[in-house]
Amino acid sequence: MIKSKFFRAGVCSIGMALALVGCASEPTSNGETTDETGQGVEAEGGGELVVAVLSDATSLDPHTSSDVPSGNIQSNIYQTLVKYNTDMELEPLLAEEWTPVEEDVWEFKLREDVYFHDGSEFNAEVVKANVERILNETTASPRAILFEIVEEINVVDDHTIQFKTEQPFAPLPAHMAHYASSMISKEVIDGDNEAVENGEQPGTYVNENPIGTGFFKFDNWQPGDHLVLDNFEDYWGENAKVDTVTFRVVPEDLTRIAELETGSAHIIDPVQPSDLSRVENMAGTEAYVRNAASITYLGFNMEKEPFDNKLVRQAIAMTLDKEAMLNGILDGTGEAAIGPINDTNFGFSEEVDAIERDVEGAKELLAEAGYENGFNTTIWTNDNRERIDIAELTQASLAEIGINVDIQVVEWGAYLDATTAGEHDMFILGLSLGTGDADYPMHMLFHSDSVGSGNRVFMQDEAFDQMLYEARIEQDEDTRLQMYVEATNYLNEESPMAFLYHPSHIMGVGEGVEGFWSDASGVYQLQDVTIQ
């Protein structure tokens, strides 16, 4: 049990090893806290767990959405074939084992006696239908990049499936751990296909019928307000400890903290770094802080002037003061980024040509690009106080080189839609580095096939696409690592975005809450949570 007021979980070694433990609190003197209605909550099993969050989910379909607020809900309804444990090592979930039976064939043995919330059976045909749906162009999945190298899907028997890839592809099991590869009931997939044939958008039927194999099942959703999941009593494994979990949307940072303090919320996310000390000093609460497999960046719309000019992009990247961001806004949490990934992912190396702050050099680049007197532009951000603060600091930094910035704050769902459509100039956003391998984030953020989904900078570079392809099929680990060093150097040269920092995940955990932890992507692990 954690006694300190502040807990950090961090990297314990380079690459794939991450260390973290659960977060716990001492019980109150009477062994009871209150839920949002003021009613007492039972200890050690049962009760309503309340999680107060900044942003609502945008969709309950894991195949057609790409944001973490949605992923946090989806990960409690659906499950993947494999998962990462607390040390970022792959372990079985819906698949019991996986083996490269040939250089270009991965075989997965599936768990038996697993059933969806609708009573249908989980089997190899279901897995085939799910991956085929992700790859189907009609689905327009922003996560298709995870499996585009899969050439054939063969059902060997009810509980054995094989994936043949275009080339040998070592990261495939890691991709199967990403929540975007969650397994949906085949009956729901069939229903969604029928709805699409009748003119509905892909995912509409799934969003209304979110049926997975997880330890929670969907109850109700009032968009913009709250979403409720119920304990799935017929779950194939160990049941969740609480009766229900309510994700309540609380956009105001200080309101979330007040709810944690009063006990009307058991967990809050996020806690802004500037509010960390307040949570630390509140009686009975814990601050849960862990290093993040995540990148926060300032993206440029490469299809718009003047951001179609590499020199302009380089000048902006050279002007930004990352240390001021870390110390002045993040209160010493997080770490400066030298590329798109950190040491939570294979492919990271400190031996890259990082961009250093150089205001005078940036002025020279702007003049060379034809913008000696600067220009006017905008930065978009969603309604997240940390990102708004970063936008304001960026605004001040760019004023040093004559760039006048107007900041526009946009509601989360509209923000995702508008940046996907390319309506922005510059924007602040992040990406969860969820597979533990550089292949996914680099494809998601920069590959030509990801334009209009994860690739909101609209980078379309055949040479870089080829670099990523060669790196993903390389079998020698040392050679492959060096290829990602070269890819990172290429990105720093082209500067499609300014890599700002890898944030820490900071959450507040209330009195009497035990068993909570978050993975490196910031996805809540709620199966073992108990409340008193």
Q: Which of 172, 189, 206 marks a domain boundary? A: 189
Residue 50 lies in a domain: no
Residue 22 lies in a domain: no
- Across 506-513, average pLDDT: 96
According to DSSP, the residues that pair with 336 across neighbouring strands are 501
Residue 70 lies in a domain: no
Of the candidates 276, 252, 260, the residue with the CA atom closest to the CA atom of residue 333:
276
For residue 124, the enclosing domain spans 79-189
- Is 270 in the same domain as 376? no
- Is 219 in the same domain as 310? no
- Is 526 in the same domain as 491? no
The pLDDT of residue 44 is: 53
> In 10 A of CB 360, how many CB atoms?
9
- Across 51-76, average pLDDT: 95
- Is 343 in the same domain as 445? yes
- Across 28-55, average pLDDT: 60
Residue 472 lies in a domain: yes
The pLDDT of residue 475 is: 84
- Is 235 in the same domain as 311? no
| CATH number for the domain that contains residue 475 | 3.10.105.10
pLDDT in tens, 324-379: 999 999 999 999 999 999 998 899 999 999 999 999 999 999 999 999 999 999 99
Of the candidates 165, 76, 130, 180, the residue with the CA atom closest to the CA atom of residue 433:
180
According to DSSP, the residues that pair with 7 across neighbouring strands are 288
- Across 392-401, average pLDDT: 98
Q: Is 59 exposed, middle or buried (0-12, 13-18, 19+ CB in 10 A)?
A: buried
Residues 379, 380, 386, 389, CA torsion sign: positive
| CATH number for the domain that contains residue 109 | 3.90.76.10
- Is 137 in the same domain as 280? no
Instruction: Give the residue ranges of DSSP H helices in 54-209.
Output: 68-77, 124-135, 172-175, 186-197, 204-208
Residue 148 lies in a domain: yes
Residue environment code for 112-145, b if the CB has 16+ CB neighbours within 10 A, otherwise e: eebebbeeeebbbebbbbbbebbbeeebebbbbb
| CATH number for the domain that contains residue 261 | 3.40.190.10
The pLDDT of residue 2 is: 28
The pLDDT of residue 524 is: 94
Q: Which of 129, 156, 189 marks a domain boundary? A: 189
Q: Is the pLDDT of residue 424 over 90?
A: yes
Residue 387 lies in a domain: yes
Residue 118 lies in a domain: yes
- Is 375 in the same domain as 264? no
- Is 498 in the same domain as 520? no
- Is 303 in the same domain as 435? yes
pLDDT in tens, 226-254: 999 999 999 999 999 999 999 999 999 99
Residue 44 lies in a domain: no
- Is 275 in the same domain as 306? no
pLDDT in tens, 132-163: 999 999 999 988 989 999 999 999 999 999 99
- Is 371 in the same domain as 449? yes
pLDDT in tens, 293-314: 899 999 999 999 999 999 999 9
- Is 458 in the same domain as 324? yes
Number of structural domains in the chain: 3
Its pTM stands at 0.80
Q: Is the pLDDT of residue 18 over 50?
A: no
What is the three-class DSSP state of 89?
A: coil
